[in-house]
Chains A and B, each alone.
Chain A
């Protein structure tokens, strides 16, 4: 078994970073959006852990809104990705429209659940 060192880790991150630089900007935006949504969700979870879960339905809707958005954004990324041959026939506009529609449906539910 190869002994891992901090150098290996640095190499790993460097290669990852260089490989990621090649990613198209629109995908990077989606990635950042996902990170933003996940962080927002994390802050809410931290709030619940530290302060309390009341009102619980508000907490649930907040977290699920973030997670749902993140999932939808991931889906969008899959469809928009040029290298993904599976969706090569799908236009990016169509994918974005799906994303918006799904978001609307999701948030309609979320708002009603908010209480």
Chain B
């Protein structure tokens, strides 16, 4: 329920947005055709249900897209399966018959007997409106599709009365006799059902019954809702598109089934057509089908066919001297009968009430089926207008079938080239007002004017804008931008008074606004308007401002907003600072000193032999000698261990890349070189990894 409410709310917003944006309604065109192929996409050559298949096939058929051959085999299989099945519901049977009507899976004499009897009992036993709808519509379809049948409702009038019993006094209908809730959507279904009953009836239905039904329809139109731009619609819990489409479908069937004719208010019928055209291209299949189906009903009906006035372009360029083109067609874009279009009024949005063009008839070009206004009066100026068109049907006979809006109001923008004259920029002395320096400007191209001023002077910029017919033109946007070197920008509006557009900048009063920022300011002028074909953005040059020092308390210039995307830019690369490696001597020098170190030891050994060291007391007995040798051997082994460690023979580190020697001289020295005392443990790890991988 909530979801539906939300959808309706969104739809309302959408509708308001559409209506606010433009009230020019274009008939259905190629954009709908291409969108239809995207909206109605079959899965594996068929649609999920027969209902969806019917909606897709019907829409594509109306739009003239032939996809029947692609879809027929799989869909027909489904139809043939459902039709004779006694277990299938009335709804399935109805949609199977609907699809069959388009694809012609079964036809001719081959009447599905089961389904006919099922539908007939359905009509007899029906209590609910939907049961009546499915079974009566089903029988109508069987009658249309299979030539060899003569189905008629014997008790047509009784059926008619029992359906009529569900109607309410306000023109709406109830779904079931027990449910007091009435619905406009149900009214549409009821009209269709009753139309079916009338066509199936063997004899004519009582006129008074039909007459009360017609008054019901008139009452139903009292509950119609309206937008400001003249569109009408019915709204209910099914959504405005479904509800309005249901009513229009019902009215079309009802008008087709009986002969006396329906008299519906023409303005509202045009409003309904405009409602469906104003929807644009719906994204949902159901809405798409309802829109196209309802428009088809309006295109070909027996009460009144609305004609839509559309403009290929709502902009008139006075420089290009293009004629104003108007097209009149039915809602689906087919040709309108002979008629004439009159431009009743052309109201300028600026001056209220005065009309520039009055009662001018548009010429008709039969080849392009376009009505056009070739020349505009001399006093037709640039600006925004509201054109009021009137359509007059030529033959009086057509007036009954076709209806048009009494007046179609279309917003038109007339554009032209605006002449810019007497553009100049000057620096004035503030106290006496004498001109210090003055430059003529050509605003059509960028200039490089160079000015300088201090805070006691003024800047004056002036120019004159005139429309093609020589009136003063007041642009919608005209402003001057001063941009300091530090990217601080200031925008000043240029005011138009009398003939001139002028801007005075008194720097004395502006010092605070300029944040006391002296230096070079770039000057940029923007003049823009919707009806100005030569809108411009011109770099005039620069001005060197000499402003007083910023006092302590004055506001600082705001920080320039940083680009919000800059945070996704890669960060600056971290450059690690390592300790500069110590200078090491040449290897040879170190080796020489290593040799020198050995010399005292050799001298010591020589001295020992000179002294004639007594080693006689070295134990000679086996046990003592062994332990003495073990002792000395142990010390020797310790020393040997040091030596091996020194020459990288032991002390390995295991790592994923294999076994490497740690603690060797080179490793120790390299780690000393590369790891700074401030580096984190991660950096040290990276460093060590690097060393191991290089070993």
Contacts and interface: CB of A to CB of B under 8 A. Distances in A.
A25 B610 CA distance: 11
A43 B585 contact: no
Nearest to B645: A111
B584 interface: yes
Interface string B573-599: 000000000111100011001001101
A27 B585 CA distance: 40
B608 interface: yes
Contact of A25 (B597, B600, B614): B614
A29 B611 contact: yes
B585 A44 contact: no
A58 B298 CA distance: 104
Contacts of B376: none
Contacts of B585: 51-52
A43 B642 CA distance: 21
B589 A25 contact: no
A43 B613 contact: no
B583 A36 contact: no
A29 B613 contact: yes
Contacts of A36: 600-601, 603-604, 607
A40 B600 contact: yes
Interface string B90-101: 000000000000
Contacts of A115: 668, 672
A52 B583 contact: yes
B411 to A, nearest CB: 88
Given A28-B611, A51-B593, A55-B672, A40 B601 contact: yes
B551 interface: no
Most B-side CB within 10 Å, residue of A25, A28, A43, A111: A43
B353 interface: no
A64 B100 CA distance: 110
Nearest to B603: A36
A87 interface: no
Given A54-B582, A54-B584, A43 B603 contact: no
A43 B600 contact: yes
Interface string A7-31: 0000000000000000001001100
A59 B21 CA distance: 89
Contact of A39 (B593, B603, B612): B603
Nearest to B582: A54
A47 interface: yes
A47 B593 contact: yes
B613 A25 contact: yes
Interface of A: 25, 28-29, 32-33, 35-37, 39-40, 43-44, 47, 51-52, 54-55, 111, 115
19 contacts: A25-B614, A29-B608, A29-B611, A29-B613, A32-B607, A32-B611, A33-B604, A35-B604, A36-B600, A36-B607, A39-B599, A39-B600, A39-B603, A40-B597, A43-B596, A51-B590, A52-B582, A111-B642, A115-B672
Interface of B: 582-585, 589-590, 593, 596-597, 599-601, 603-604, 607-608, 611-614, 642, 668, 672
